[in-house]
Structure 1
Amino acid sequence: METVPLRHWGRMIGAAAVLGLQGFLVYIISASQSISWNAIPEYLFNPAILRGVLVTIELTILAMVIGTTIGVLLAVMRMSANPVLSTVSTAYVWFFRGTPLMVQIFFWFNIALFIPVVRIGDFSISTNLLISAYSAGLLALALHEAANMAEIVRGGILSVDGGQMEASQALGMMRSQAMRRIILPQAIKVILPPTGNQAIGMLKATAMVSVIGTHDLLTQAQNTYARNFLVIELLIVASIWYLALTTVASIGQHYLEKHFQRDLQRQPTQTLMNRIGRSFNPFAGVRA
């Protein structure tokens, strides 16, 4: 008896409607006489645009490194038995996650309004000279990212069996040593995937610093179309570069996650309790 495949007419109609809508949008955009398509490849590798790309990459890397470092510290503080450290960390995460990133950028850019001069002993310097537009943008991005990374790292630490810390302390390790040598190495496999997502989000979030003129990619595109009035063309150029950078970051994240997943599949989970049990087992490692 011949088997007749079931036809999903709803799926076919939906797919046809989506393709038709996409084709219609492509036709409207490509047929527009207001866009100078020849200007897009001309400005794609413009020196000013390329400088903006480098600043965007630099801001992303520095903000992620600083934010991750502070985030790990905040996560450990929040899980500390010391109520002062735990309260300070909780308040930091509450404030920097609860206020918009744009507000934080404006805050650091205008900090000289209530701290005009920074004094250390006999040395003093103007806050405007100390915190430039670039420094203000980097501070806002890094401190905001630290609050997000603190929660990601805390979630990774909580994913490790609580008996790991107890067993480490039973072997004579201090809590800080156990956290550094036992807990964090196991939690890193849980922390890495969302950290990759945060890095991609940070790459796009750097566009916000254009409001204070930090010479990033979007700022350079805005400065260029302010002179030649090719607004849409320069925004398309900026979008192409953002898409290219996020695509590269996504590919890197994919292979990084694949590497750790392969390690997890190849090696059984060896917790501290497993290793302690094997050390006291006289038949460990003996094959039949």
Structure 2
Amino acid sequence: MGFQTLPRGGKGDYPWWLVALCVSAVVLAAVIFFNGIYAQVFLTVANGIGVTIFVTLVAFCLATLLGLGIALLGLSDSNALRQISRFYIEVIRGIPMLVLLFYIAFVGAPGFVAAYNWLITPLTRAGLAEPLLVRDFSLMWRAIMALTIGYSAFIAEIFRAGIQSVDKGQIEASKALGLSRVQRFRLVVFPQAIRVIFPPLSNDFVAMVKDSSLVSVLGVADITQMGKVYASGSFRFFETYSIVAYIYLILTIGLSLMLRSFEKRMRRKTER
């Protein structure tokens, strides 16, 4: 007797996992609303939501632009540029994000300030500019730069794979039509590559929401840092980190559903 395999991912599959998540979210919301301790924890931790969203959006936008540039270098006709691109990607991908965060914050930032002050030495001596201090480079922006550099290597590989997935015959046809390199990329390559690029790129966006919690090690007042401060003062670790996890789940799952819906609409438009 053989085993009957059930269809997976079909149109008839009902998202019971989403129902379970929604029910759990409603139950936890009720607990927060009616329980004074959880309500106090939530109000305290929620003060870091704005910082988390700001860090994620700015870092992801910068990482996307930098990653696209690195990917284009890797696809250029120059062997030197391709080698530089590959060197950057392999080095950055091999460094843990937390180590990169510390390195940018406590090595890269002071080095940048020292180089900047050296460049403006003539202006400083003439009284036309003031030297920059390390403390003028805020910890939040150091964290943003670390996330930007760390994620740009992964995003560069996403762009490279998407661009290389475009049929070469179409690129040759666009060359025959007399389109420039920029026109070929804008009109032929990128509109087709985005269908391959968008799903993994959206996954990296959701991952960055979670990895933004690493900025708390620098004292940046995000969700995790606010929870850490509250828990260390009240010793209510269970309640505090349950709320922290709950907020991150709401952000990441809500964002995942939005991006998945947008991906489906984009797919329908391209199939028409």
**Same-fold status (TM-score > 0.5):** yes
In 1: Cα distance, 2:60 partner to 2:113 partner = 29
Alignment map for 1:1-288 (pairs within 5 Å):
38-46=36-44, 49-111=45-107, 112=109, 114=111, 117=114, 118-119=116-117, 120-121=119-120, 122=123, 123=129, 125-265=131-271, 267=272
In 1: Cα distance, 2:158 partner to 2:4 partner = 44
In 1: Cα distance, 2:145 partner to 2:200 partner = 22
Higher relative contact order (CA 8 A, sep 6+): 2
In 2: Cα distance, 1:127 partner to 1:137 partner = 17
Contact persistence 1:115–1:127 (CA under 8 A): no
Q: Which has the larger radius of gyration?
A: 1
Structure 1 residues 164, 125: CA separation in 2 closer, same or farther (over 3 Å shift)?
A: farther
Query: What amino acid is the match of 1:135?
Result: W
Deviates more, 1:119-128 or 1:234-243: 119-128
Contact persistence 2:209–2:252 (CA under 8 A): yes
User: What residue ranges of structure 2 are gaps of 5+ in the alignment?
Assistant: 6-34, 124-128
Shift in Å at residue 127 of structure 1? 4.8
Query: What amino acid is the match of 1:187?
Result: A
Contact persistence 1:75–1:150 (CA under 8 A): yes
Structure 1 residues 130, 81: CA separation in 2 closer, same or farther (over 3 Å shift)?
A: farther
Shift in Å at residue 91 of structure 1? 1.3
Q: Kindly, what percent of the aligned residue pairs are identical?
A: 30
In 2: Cα distance, 1:124 partner to 1:211 partner = 30
Contact persistence 2:162–2:193 (CA under 8 A): yes
Structure 1 residues 115, 54: CA separation in 2 closer, same or farther (over 3 Å shift)?
A: closer
Contact persistence 1:109–1:132 (CA under 8 A): no
SS at match of 1:110: helix
Structure 1 residues 75, 113: CA separation in 2 closer, same or farther (over 3 Å shift)?
A: closer
Query: What amino acid is the match of 1:42?
Result: Q
Structure 1 residues 115, 79: CA separation in 2 closer, same or farther (over 3 Å shift)?
A: closer
SS at match of 2:131: strand
Structure 1 residues 264, 133: CA separation in 2 closer, same or farther (over 3 Å shift)?
A: same
SS at match of 1:45: helix
RMSD between superposed Cα atoms in Å = 2.2
SS at match of 1:125: coil
In 1: Cα distance, 2:77 partner to 2:58 partner = 31
Count of residues in correspondence between the two structures: 232
SS at match of 2:156: helix
- Normalised by the length of structure 1, the TM-score is 0.75
In 1: Cα distance, 2:220 partner to 2:227 partner = 12
In 2: Cα distance, 1:116 partner to 1:257 partner = 42
In 2: Cα distance, 1:173 partner to 1:124 partner = 49
In 2: Cα distance, 1:106 partner to 1:219 partner = 16
Contact persistence 2:41–2:230 (CA under 8 A): no
Shift in Å at residue 179 of structure 1? 1.4
User: What residue ranges of structure 1 are gaps of 5+ in the alignment?
Assistant: 1-5, 9-36, 268-288
Query: What amino acid is the match of 1:54?
Result: G
Render the CA deviation track for 1:191-213: whole Å, top value 9, x for unaligned.
11111111110000011111111
Greater fraction of residues in helix: 2
